[in-house]
Amino acid sequence: MRLKAVFDKFFTDRQVIIRTRGELKYLPISVRTQLMGFVVLIGFGGMFAWLMVAGAVQYHEITNQQAKLLSLQLEYDAVTSDYDLAQSKIAATQAELDQQYARLEDVFADREVVEKALEFAVKSSDGDAGEKSLEDRIRTLGESLHATNARREKLEMEIMQSNKALFQISRERDEAIADREKTVRRLASLRGLVNLYASTKDEIYEELEETREQFASLKQDFDGRVQTETRLSSEVSELRDRMNRMSTQNKELIARIHDRTNASVAALRDIIVLTGLNPDRLLGSDEVTGQGGPFVAAVPPARKLLQTEQDFYAQAQKMETSLAHWEFLQTLLRQLPLARPVDVGYVTSSFGKRRDPMTKRTAFHSGVDIAGPRNSKVLATAPGTVTFVGTNGAYGTMVTIDHGSGFQTRYGHLKKALVKKGETIEYRTEIGVMGSTGRSTGRHVHYEVIYEDEHQNPMNFIKAGRYAFKATPKLEEASAE
- Domain-located, residue 58: yes
Q: What is the pLDDT of residue 399?
A: 96
| d(C-alpha 374, C-alpha 10), whole Å | 87
C-alpha triplet 431, 433, 437: angle, nearest 5°: 115
C-alpha triplet 28, 16, 247: angle, nearest 5°: 95
- Domain-located, residue 409: yes
| Global pTM value | 0.43
First to last CA, the chain: 53
Boundaries of domain holding 398: 346-480
- Domain-located, residue 328: no
Q: What is the pLDDT of residue 395?
A: 93
Q: What is the CATH number of the domain that holds 111?
A: 1.10.287.2610
Phi, psi of 445 (to 5 degrees): -120, 130
Domain end call among 183, 211, 239: 211
Identify the burial level of 93 via C-beta atoms within 10 angstroms of its C-beta, where 0-12 means exposed, 13-18 middle and 19 or more buried: middle
Q: What is the pLDDT of residue 27?
A: 73
Identify the burial level of 353 via C-beta atoms within 10 angstroms of its C-beta, where 0-12 means exposed, 13-18 middle and 19 or more buried: exposed
Q: What is the pLDDT of residue 246?
A: 77
Q: Are 442 and 480 in contact (CB under 8 A)?
A: no
Domain end call among 211, 235, 259: 211
- Region for 174 from its dihedrals, namely left if φ exceeds 0, alpha if ψ lies in -120 to 50, beta otherwise: alpha
- Give the three-state DSSP class for 23: strand
Task: Outline where 275-387 has alpha helix (H).
Answer: 279-283, 304-335
Query: Side chain identity at 331, as an amino acid letter?
Result: T
- Domain-located, residue 326: no
- Give the three-state DSSP class for 122: helix
Q: What is the CATH number of the domain that holds 459?
A: 2.70.70.10
- Domain-located, residue 463: yes
What one-character DSSP code corresponds to residue 290?
P
Residues contacting 235, CB < 8 A, separation 6+: 17, 19
- pLDDT < 50: residue spans in the chain: 127, 285-288, 299, 301-302, 473-481
- Domain-located, residue 413: yes
Per-residue pLDDT of 87-103, as tens digits, reads 787 777 777 777 777 77
- Domain-located, residue 327: no
CA distances from 472 to 183, 264, 269, 465, 479 (A): 115, 10, 13, 10, 10
- Report how many domains make up the chain: 2
| d(C-alpha 49, C-alpha 39), whole Å | 15
CA distances from 396 to 50, 392, 393 (A): 102, 5, 6
Domain end call among 164, 186, 211: 211
Residues contacting 215, CB < 8 A, separation 6+: 44, 48
- Domain-located, residue 166: yes
Q: What is the pLDDT of residue 318?
A: 67
Q: What is the pLDDT of residue 476?
A: 44
- How many residues can be counted in the chain? 481
